[in-house]
Amino acid sequence: MISPARRTAYEVLLRVFEQEAYADRAFRSSAEGLDERERAFAQRLAYGSVQRVRALDHAIETLGRRPARKLDPPVRAALRLGAYQLGYTDTAPHAAVNESVELVRRARLERAVPFTNAVLRRLAEGIRPLLQSLPDGPLKESYPDWIHEVFVHVLGVEGALALMRAMNEPLETSLRLVRGEPPPGSEATDVPGAYRVERVDEALVTGGRIWPQSRGSQLAGLCVGAREGDRVLDLCAAPGGKAGQLRGEVTAVEIDPARARELRENLATMGRRDVTVVEADGTALPLELHGFDRVLVDAPCSGLGVLSQRPDLRWRATPLPDLQLALLRSAAERVRPGGTIVYSVCTLDPDECEAVVDATGMRVLPLADEWPAFAHPSRPEFLLTLPHVHGTSGFFVARLAVE
């Protein structure tokens, strides 16, 4: 007998690592029909196994004495799932071992059952001491070396370690109050309009009262400073959390038709039918989009500040400085003289943050006086939210003058 939660987590592991699926989408479809308790357990197993896969494979290879890449995909997924439970949860060892073995049997790989069973029993005895003996760093915390190097460059060795540990755990759950009173039990934060909650009430989201959005994300939207009467452009607007914050006459641009549809739906849910959605490439905007007072460029990026929320992203992240610079230059052409651009990215990589801003040659309007708690540690004219310091997703924010 295999529990529905373990079956779901196993399917997510197969789809993420063998079919290049996104973890959140794979989980959403695989978890259909689970009750709330099973769903929460399945998500913990699935996301935890995906996040920790580097350390898990090290343990499997060390104790199983066979390279993980040479294993049949169902065996590899079952071993990773079992290893995660044995190494990082309080799951009863016999349940982790027996159900992982049964997953291999159900995959019609009877010949691999004795091997799977033997490796899992070695893991049950040895994985915790093995993991504890690893030196602090990217293998132990299960990150690619290049991401660790970026974090060390920004924060130093100890700061990088604290950041990696923070993003291996769930961060706070926060929301933006769209209208009405804050939800019962919510806690006001240091970002106006942002509230910390134990869980998001989906009925309040559907009713347009609240919107799930991290404090880091909301901070970026607030830095735009949009007011009634302003003409405002959101250049990379989907899924719409920040676009829904902006006041004035707002135009929201999105290149992907499916995401543009999602953007329209989300804005309607928030009661923002006054926002004009345009399907276009932010680097090649229609000529009629010009003369804006304020532009938000919340650019695509490597996402190194949101690795807690997106467990598979650390294994597929790619810096995008060329695209980011192109978007900023495009924005600069569409702002009236005296207008401003806010550039934000959910990453901490300097090549996508301060280096992109520096490459524009535009004048920086310092933000630290307005938001001293979030001042960038080495470039205080910018903002940088840090998961291990602020408890929210990592965002870089800069405000630029168009002259």
Which residues are identified as catalytic? 346
Output the six-digit token pair for 91: 């799951």
Facing residues of 195 across strands?
175, 188
Q: Which three-class secondary structure state does DSSP give residue 342?
A: strand
In angstroms, the CA 283 to CA 263 distance is 19
Q: In whole angstroms, what is the distance from residue 212 CA to residue 362 CA?
A: 33
Which residues partner with 270 through β-bridges?
A: none
What is each CA distance from 395 to 38, 183, 332, in whole angstroms?
32, 26, 21
- What type of residue sits at position 326? A
Residue 42 has φ and ψ, to the nearest 5°, of -60, -40
SS3 of residue 277 by DSSP: strand
The answer to whether 9 and 45 are in contact (CB under 8 A) is: yes
